[in-house]
Structure 1
Amino acid sequence: MSTLPIESALPELKAALAEAGAAVLQAPPGAGKTTRVPLALLGEPWLAGRRVVMLEPRRLAARAAARHMARLRGEDVGGTVGYRVRMETRVGPTTRIEVVTEGVLTRMLQSDPALDGVGIVIFDEFHERSLHADLGLALTLESRSVLREDLRVLVMSATLDGAPIAALLGDAPVVTSQGRGFPVDVRYQPGRIEGRMEPAVARTVRQAVESSEGDVLVFLPGAGEIHRVEEMLREGGLPAEVRVMPLYGNLPQQAQDEAIAPSPPGRRKVVLSTSIAETSLTIEGVRVVVDSGMMRVPRFSPRTGMTRLETVTVSRASSEQRCGRAGRVAPGTCWRMWPEHAQAGLVPHGTPEILDADLAPLALELAAWGVADPAELAWLDPPPAAAFGQARELLAELGVLDAAGSVTPHGRAMAELPLHPRLAHMLLRGRELGLGGLACDLAALLGERDVFRRGDTPADADLRLRLEALRDLAANRRVRGPADVGALRRVQAESREWRRRLALRGEDGDPSAAGLLLALAYPDRIGQRRAGKPGRFLLRNGRGASLAESDSLAPSAYIVAPELDGQGRDSRVYLAAPVELDEIERHFADQIEREDIVAWDADAKAVRARRRERLGALVLHDGHLPDPDPDLVTAALLRGIASEGIGALGWSRSAAQLRERIAFLHRHDPSWLDVSDAALAAGLAEWLGPYVYGMTRLEQVQRLDLNDILLGMLGWERRTALDDLAPSHLPVPSGSRIPIDYADPDAPVLAARLQELFGMTETPRIAGGRVPLTIHLLSPAHRPVQVTRDLASFWKTGYFDVKKDLKGRYPKHYWPDDPLQAQATSRVRPRPV
């Protein structure tokens, strides 16, 4: 490893590329690697007339780098040095260096995996770890190993550890350059900012302008913060010669170019920028950096299937990158909007986008490349399995993948469009439906931040209102709604480009079809209004979504919501359009599941049969099923009985007693039928099923004769043995037949008046003599006076005490002195003999 200024490092770098075919260059901000290295490689023999392709993470940086290299050669862009970015190409027949954005490299690889005519691919600012950079490197390495052993690969980074990348490149040499930065005085805030950051940032900018020379570069999270700080600074406090200029990705190209151009003599500027100016981009004249310490990053949730922007604290590497911007042309100053002790607490590096991003674009590119499993390629960080699996599921819904998981012709056509797969699918399907122009407008609107300004009161979510504003602009009418005309013009230009690519002519389409087109792009976000207050929806993916009750779409029966915040139980809907049920049924017919539901209704105590049509979590139709399958009805009825409990069958007294007798015998001989609740519930289909066939209600079942059913379950032999082993009644000396109570199978009870048992010398036994009955001896009033299982002992000892008590209370009744010789009777006194 060497540590050299960039000019001195170039010979070693050239040698490494010539010998090893790959290298890693680590150079700090301001080293000049972005422009010096590509130009220095043009004369290398191994390049042999082939082109240099250099990747930049952003369009602005790609254009600026190409212009700077062309200026160094005294040429115009499109000569030796050109660029390719989305929607714009400036290359010519003599172009040797092409600066491209990362998505463009993917398109080049998909159309020509061998990269014919390319000698080296340079990945600039790789430490940003964008999804497209990781994908581009993986595909390039695959192409190099299979098709182009002579293809050189150079990875350049300012802050990333070069060792892991060098290992990925096959232990490529690492060359480190010191660069030519000037010292930067770093100043911290005494404490953290309380409340909104914008007032504190505006105060610091005024202080920086007053105390320093040169231009000021201010880093803010997003366009909203930029415009608020811009407004505060324009209200006063800055010298007249100082201009305030915003800089972010969605600004028109002319405004971006003005922000990075050198200030005229005698003038200064304050550039309010997102992280777009953190790397690759040199804004000449900057001597001061004000860093808010915040940035906005996309976060994808496999749980919700949605991406939302999060404002996060910058990493330590990003803070150093930003700080270095102040020392590129002269000694400078960096104002950090956080206390010094917090600097050490910053995470070393940001999270690679591949670990947090929506992987549907990556999955589409891999499918078009012929790869279903990312493990087939070499990655610095492999795609997370859950997010990649969900991405593949979405592609299958969009018709990208066939049943075998291979890419379809429709998927290949989608991959040729530099759009998210959802929008690419919408454009192609929209063209098939004669709605191509409308699809182009929608794709452009969704690719731009909302063209309706979001003030204190949220703008109406209806995307059709944005389409109407776009139509107003095209017809030179006064634009309706709270529209940003500049944003509408950008949308208009992008829509024209999509129309050109799809070869569409004069085709606008009715805005009322917007919902259908959005449903094709976002099938998982079709929403059905829930009962209750308007504005609450259930999405096809099972998530909830909500609109303000005042929103024009709140009463809609069905909507499609392409933009939600993905937070909470019900995600807030920012953009949506209504869609009709018949459109859903017509265009998603192959995905609608039709099911006959035969189920137990616990409230009605009956089986209900319904025919239901479902799209994911959405029930589109739910009505009565007139002719349900009788077998399904019987099964549902039996499940209902099981849920209600065996006791709900309505046992008659005789059936309940018979069940108790059988249970008694099973207790003492397990070979007898088990008639417990659990056993009967488990075997409902076998013993009860044949009797309830054709029934639907519990009350019908309750009219069955369960006594006969139970006897039928026993079989002839056991039915014959039942009365011998477990008789229902027992004859007693008085001549009466007394019922036996089997409620307790361990101690069956014979309850009889004492006088009816005179002369019964021994306790009766059942179950073949194995089980003695428990005798409840009753008074003439049928109240228990003694319980015994040893009748002989009772006559000898207990009877006389009982007799004395009963004779006093029932003097007219017969109370003999010798109960064993006395005549039993069911009357007050025995009949005279």
Structure 2
Amino acid sequence: MALLPINTVLPQLMKALHTHTGVVLVAPPGAGKTTRIPLALLEDELFANQRILMLEPRRLAARTAARFMAAALGEQVGETVGYRVRLDTRVGPKTRIEVITEGVLTRMLQHDPGLEGVGIVIFDEFHERNLHADLGLALCLQAQALLRDDLRILVMSATLDAQAVAKLMGQAPVIISDGQSYEVATHYLERQIEARLGAATSVARIEAAVVRSISDALDKHEEGDVLVFLPGTGEIRRVESRLKAMKLGSSVQIMPLYGSLPQESQDKAIAPAVPGIRKIVLTTSIAESSLTVGGIRIVIDSGLSRVPRFSPRTGMARLETVQVSLASADQRRGRAGRLGPGTCYRLWTEAEHKLLVPLSRPEIAEADLAPLALELAAWGVADPLELQWLDPPPQAAFSQARSLLVQLGALHADGSITAAGRQMAGLGMHPRLAHMVLSAIPLGLGELACELAAMLNERDILKGDPATPNADLRLRLEALHMAMRSGFEYSSGDFGRVEHGAMPRLQHNTKESELGSAMKAPLYHEGFSVDLAACKRIWTEAKQWKKELQLTRPYNTEDVFACGLLLAFAFPDRIGQRRAQGSFRLSNGRGATFAQMQPLSAAAYLVAAELDDQGTDSRVYLAAPIDIEEVERHFHSSIEQQKVTAWDESVQAVRSRTYVRLGALLLKDMANHSPHPDEVLAALLNGISEQGWATMLPWSKAANQLRERLRFMHRHDAEWPDVSDEALTESLGHWLAPHLHGMKSRGDLQRLNVVDVLESLLSWEQRRMLNEWAPTHITVPSGSRIAIDYSDCEAPTLAVRLQELFGLKQTPRIARERVPLLLHLLSPAQRPVQVTSDLASFWSNTYFEVKKDLKGRYPKHYWPDDPLVAMPTSRVRPKNIQ
């Protein structure tokens, strides 16, 4: 075996593993850590007769590392060295080194927490901080502390905060290895590509810049293969198409490299090119670390990566294109210097480079935590803080994940796992999909659910004309079965064409009136391209799950119409009710729309399986219709009936309705003809409170006067009821409710006698005292009975013509002579000429001046010289004075 840089630190590493249960190794790309260290451990007596588990963040890296190590031993994969990844296992009875993906480790730990027979667990490329890597390390550390104090843990990475990991592992020793790399010349753009992360136009600009850079690199460099980093498979295919259109010649081969590519194609992209051929490898971040792509001397980096983002606010995950971190950019650049001096073209400016974040955020901070929460519950941990984490799960996202699992029946309200939850955890799929499969089995739909689950794990298998979109998952299921029946071979290449008439059960241009409640005949179908490679992966995964669950029922063509129901089991929070053509309200309260009109736009109800998390309404990409009868039958435990008796402002009356709801969806709205009288009363009082009792009640002149008299009495004696605005508002139920029996509307309220309502607040003694203390009227010397105005409870007022008070020496008093009235002395025209509460002073000091003025204006009226002995009159002059 060739001497690798990692060999120089192997003795130090072995010594550390003999004396410590945890070690951190920092080694740059190309040092040989991935393939050399497991083989070295195989020969160490510390791990004699024990298995070595090495975790890789990606399936491609796991298979490649296992094949390389097996070849170094002169063996086939599956002998001493094997691997376990999703849908592919190559291990045998003699296998001692198992290269696995992190999800596989979680399954192994759940099945055997002590990892019996395992001597060491190696976390390779830990800097990628995948969710399962963080979880796997946390579980291994607890297993080590509680069950296996002899279990070794080795964390390896090229770019890592080694001290933080070492501290997490109990101050584990840190070993640093030099790498073997050559000088890499780095070139930046002189001008920024506008709106790098914006709309489709900016994506097209970046793709165009990539193509130009590839062309320039081929012209400038006569040898060396090219590795191009792009954010996703869509960009890879479009760049590939552009390059093929350039006719670069037979000496240049264009090879995609991404996770879902068939293994043969992946192997071809990784292997060195044959002599005389230059290779252009278009890849995602899958080639950043772990993999060595043979022959690479030139790297072209778009500077973009696609990462999952989860929103606890909406409960939805999406893929988001982001700028790479400094660490990732350096990893990519280093790929050009593995074999000799290389060149890296970075499609961003030096100014932009200085703004890159040092490290990418760990997936645990951004991802959907429902799988993590279920794994922890299956492990027996309700609170994630019971474990040791480099970065603990965010509280909001974890809380949302637990709420979802409770809704799916996987957890009890206290966070402990249910029997169904344990079954779900054992299936090794997302809890939503596991719940769907387990719920489908009793209905005889388990086989279809496995296919649907596998399909939802893949990218969309159909590509069609954007002008005639179709988000219906049933179309994809039928395409899957057509692909299966044809042996996944419509034509050469990855894609086959589904032409007009190829799917006879799916009708074209069905009218909305013909759709029926289940929409059993929607769907455009001509001209769709089917991704046959993806179909084959889906079928293989579904077949494996069916085998594990012992599902053997043959496919029934009618099963496809249960697609919506199955999706509802997985996404009960995304059952949608149409609110307008193409627009839906989801049961979680969010909105959802189709970007363009299509057959599903007319569905009364649907379930959204894939949507984004942008704006007020999310855009629906994949969905299936569902019957309301299916919703009511299978989700009855989540459906709530709510009887609401409330004031309806539009009709000014109390209305009682029964609402049937599924989350935020109103399924039924029915009149309730027998509401409870107490509920009617409460609703009527609410209506009066909202509208204002002053306007809702029939306040007569007598009622208003009585209220003012009561306010006057309360002002002088707190034992009397408080009828101020504030008091009446706060005590509405006390003073008004007893008089509202049988009433429901504003019209009914007009029958109220408010005088009686207010008098009911008084005791018998208070009623007797009221007229004595606060009379409604007072008789003046002229014999007239004048009303007292109590609107100002501080100073009740008597407005009376001056001539009617002749002969009255003192101001009239109420409240048993305690309170003088405020006199408004009026002219014959009923206009105030004087306001006083001291009538005696007025007669002696002011009357004569007022008399002069009034006599001049009203000469025919009686204006005596001595008002104290004059005859009072309500006429122009007393009868006996002419």
In structure 1, give the amino acid aligned to 2:592: A
How far has the Cα of 1:756 moved from its partner?
A: 1.3
Residues 375-524 of structure 1 mapped to structure 2, 5 A cutoff? 375-453=385-463, 456-457=466-467, 459-476=469-486, 478=502, 480-481=525-526, 482-486=528-532, 487-505=534-552, 506-508=554-556, 510-524=559-573
Residue range with higher mean Cα deviation, 147-156 or 747-756: 747-756
Residue in structure 2 matching 1:526, options 575, 596, 607: 575
What is the match of residue 132 of structure 2? 132
The answer for the alignment partner of 1:38 in structure 2 is 38
Q: Which stretch of structure 1 is more off in the superposition, 366-375 or 758-767?
A: 758-767
Report the Cα distance in structure 2 between the residues aligned to 1:36 and 1:231, rounded to whole angstroms. 39
Alignment of 1:294-305 (within 5 A): 294-305=304-315
Contact 2:469 2:596 in 1 (8 A): no
Distance in 1, matches of 2:413 and 2:250, equals 66
Partner of 1:586: 633
Tell me which residue corresponds to 1:91. 91
- 3-state SS of 2:236 partner: helix
Read off the aligned partner of 2:718 and give its amino acid letter: P
Determine if the alignment matches structure 1 residue 548 to structure 2 residue 595: yes
Pair 1:374-2:384 in alignment: yes
Please state if 1:209 is matched with 2:218. yes
1:641 aligned residue (677, 682, 688)? 688
Which residue is equivalent to 2:517?
Answer: none
TM-score using structure 1 length? 0.97
Distance in 1 between residues matched to 2:328 and 2:52, nearest whole Å: 28
- Tell me which of 575, 584, 587 is aligned to 1:537: 584
Structure 1 position 652 matched with structure 2 position 704: no
Per the TM alignment, residue 816 of structure 1 is displaced from its structure 2 partner at its CA by 2.1
Would the alpha carbon gap of residues 658 and 341 (structure 1) be closer, same or farther in structure 2, given more than 3 Å must change? closer
Deviation at 1:733, TM superposition (A): 0.5
Gaps of 5+ in 2: 195-201, 487-497, 504-524
Q: Deviations over 1:445-502 (max 9, x none)?
A: 2111112226654732121221222233234484645233323333233322222222
Deviates more, 1:803-812 or 1:335-344: 803-812
CA offsets 1:76-126 (integer angstroms, 9 cap, x no match): 111111000011110011111000000000000001111111111000000
Distance 2:764 2:464 in 1: 84
Task: Work out the CA distance in 1 between the residues paired with 2:750 and 2:351.
Answer: 79
Q: CA deviation at 1:436?
A: 1.2
Output the amino acid matched with 1:621.
K
Structure 2 CA distance for aligned equivalents of residues 273 and 55 of structure 1: 22
Superposition map of 1:675-714 within 5 A: 675-714=723-762
Which stretch shows the higher mean deviation, 614-623 or 794-803?
A: 794-803
Alpha-carbon distance in 2 for matches of 1:571, 1:275: 28
Cross-structure match for 1:745? 793
The residue number in structure 2 matching 1:103 is 103
CA–CA separation in structure 2 for the residues paired with 1:124 and 1:663: 84
The secondary structure found in structure 1 opposite 2:116 is coil
Query: Given that residues 469 and 483 in structure 1 are in contact (C-alpha distance below 8 angstroms), is that contact kept between their aligned partners in structure 2?
Result: no
Between 294-303 and 443-452, the greater mean CA deviation after superposition: 443-452
Q: Secondary structure at the match of 1:694?
A: coil
2-structure distance, mates of 1:24, 1:515:
49
Counterpart of 2:21 in structure 1 is: 21
2:257 is aligned with 1:247: yes
Quote the residue 2:302 is aligned against. 292
In the alignment, which residue of structure 2 is the partner of 1:116? 116
Mean alpha-carbon deviation: is it higher for 10-19 or for 396-405? 396-405
Conservation of the 8 A alpha-carbon contact between 1:435 and 1:507: no
The 5-angstrom pairing of residues 624-639 of structure 1 reads 624-639=671-686
Cα shift at 1:562: 1.6
Letter of the 1:537 partner, please give it: F
What is the SS of the residue equivalent to 2:260? coil
**Pairing partner for 2:763 from 696, 702, 715:** 715
State the distance in 2 between where 1:355 and 1:254 align: 34
- How far 1:419 sits from its partner (Å)? 1.1
Query: Matches of 1:237 and 1:203 in 2, distance apart?
Result: 14
> Residue 564 of structure 2 contacts residue 624 of structure 2 at CA under 8 Å; is this kept in 1?
yes
Residue 808 of structure 1 deviates from its aligned partner by 4.2
2:62 match = 62
Which residue of 2 is the match for residue 181 of structure 1? 181
Alpha-carbon distance, 1:285 to partner: 1.0
The whole-number CA distance in structure 1 between the counterparts of 2:232 and 2:85 is 22
Instruction: State the superposition RMSD in angstroms.
Output: 1.7
After TM superposition, give the deviation of residue 745 of structure 1 in Å.
1.4
Cα deviation for residue 10 of structure 1 reads 0.6
Offset at 1:826? 2.1
Q: How far apart are the structure 1 equivalents of 2:742 and 2:629?
A: 37
State the alpha-carbon separation in 2 of the partners of residues 457 and 548 from structure 1. Answer: 11
- For 2:654, the equivalent position in structure 1 comes to 607
Identity %: 60
Deviates further, 799-808 or 580-589 = 799-808
1 CA distance for matches of 2:848 and 2:344? 113
Task: Tell me the number of residue pairs that the alignment of Structure 1 and Structure 2 aligns.
Answer: 828
Distance in 2 between residues matched to 1:571 and 1:458, nearest whole Å: 20
| Greater shift in the superposed pair: 307-316 or 544-553 | 544-553
Q: Could you say what secondary structure the match of 1:303 adopts? A: coil
Structure 1 partner of 2:198: none
In the alignment, structure 1 residue 764 sits paired with structure 2 residue 774: no
CA contact (8 A) 2:385 2:392 kept: yes
What runs of 5+ residues in structure 1 fail to find an aligned partner?
A: none
Which residue identity lines up with residue 564 of structure 1 in the other structure? L
Please report how far the alpha carbon of residue 549 of structure 1 lies from its aligned counterpart in structure 2 after TM superposition: 5.2
| Contact 1:86–1:418 (CA under 8 A) maintained in structure 2 | no
The amino acid that maps onto 1:387 is A
Q: 2:354 is paired with a residue of what secondary structure?
A: helix
Distance 2:137 2:128 in 1: 13
Q: Is the 8 A contact 1:206 1:237 kept in 2?
A: no
Is the 8 Å Cα contact of residues 296 and 310 (structure 1) preserved in structure 2?
yes
- Of residues 311, 328, 349 in structure 1, which corresponds to 2:338? 328
The answer to whether the Cα contact below 8 Å between 2:643 and 2:656 also exists between their aligned partners in 1 is yes
2:825 counterpart residue number: 777
Query: Which amino acid letter does the alignment assign opposite residue 473 of structure 1?
Result: A
| Aligned mates of 2:121, 2:420 — CA distance in 1 | 30
Q: TM-score, normalised by structure 2?
A: 0.92
Partner of 1:341: 351
Question: Which moves more between the two structures, 52-61 or 336-345?
Answer: 336-345
Partner Cα separation in structure 2 for residue 742 and residue 86 of structure 1: 88
Structure 2 residue aligned with 1:271? 281
2:494 match: none
- Answering whether residue 330 of structure 2 is matched by residue 282 of structure 1, we say no
Whether contact under 8 Å (1:561, 1:573) holds in the other structure is yes
**CA shift digits 1:409-454 (9 cap, x unpaired):** 1111111122111011111111121111221221122111112226
Q: What letter matches 1:795 in structure 2? A: W
Counterpart CA distance in 2 for 1:733 and 1:490 is 110
1:624-683 deviation line (CA, Å, top 9, x unaligned):
111111111111111111112121211111111010011112223333211012211221
Measure the CA separation in 2 of the matches of 1:595 and 1:514.
30
Instruction: Please identify, of 40-49 and 4-13, the stretch whose mean Cα deviation from structure 2 is larger.
Output: 4-13
Deviation at 1:239, TM superposition (A): 3.7
Deviation digits for residues 18-77 of structure 1 (CA, Å, limit 9, x no counterpart) = 111221111000111100000011111111211111000001110011011111111111
* Aligned equivalent of 2:613, options 527, 548, 566: 566
For 2:469 and 2:426, how far apart are their aligned partners in 1?
A: 34
Deviation string 1:595-641 (CA, Å, 9 cap, x unpaired) is 11011112222111111111111111111111111111111111111
The separation in 1 between residues aligned to 2:98 and 2:24, in whole angstroms, is 20
Are 1:646 and 1:677, in contact at CA under 8 Å, matched by a contact in 2?
no
Measure how far apart 1:796 and its partner are.
2.5
User: For residues 115-141 of structure 1, what are the alpha-carbon distances to aligned partners after superposition, in whole Å with 9 as ceiling and x for unaligned?
Assistant: 111111000000000000000001111
Cα distance in 2 between the residues matched to 1:20 and 1:787:
102
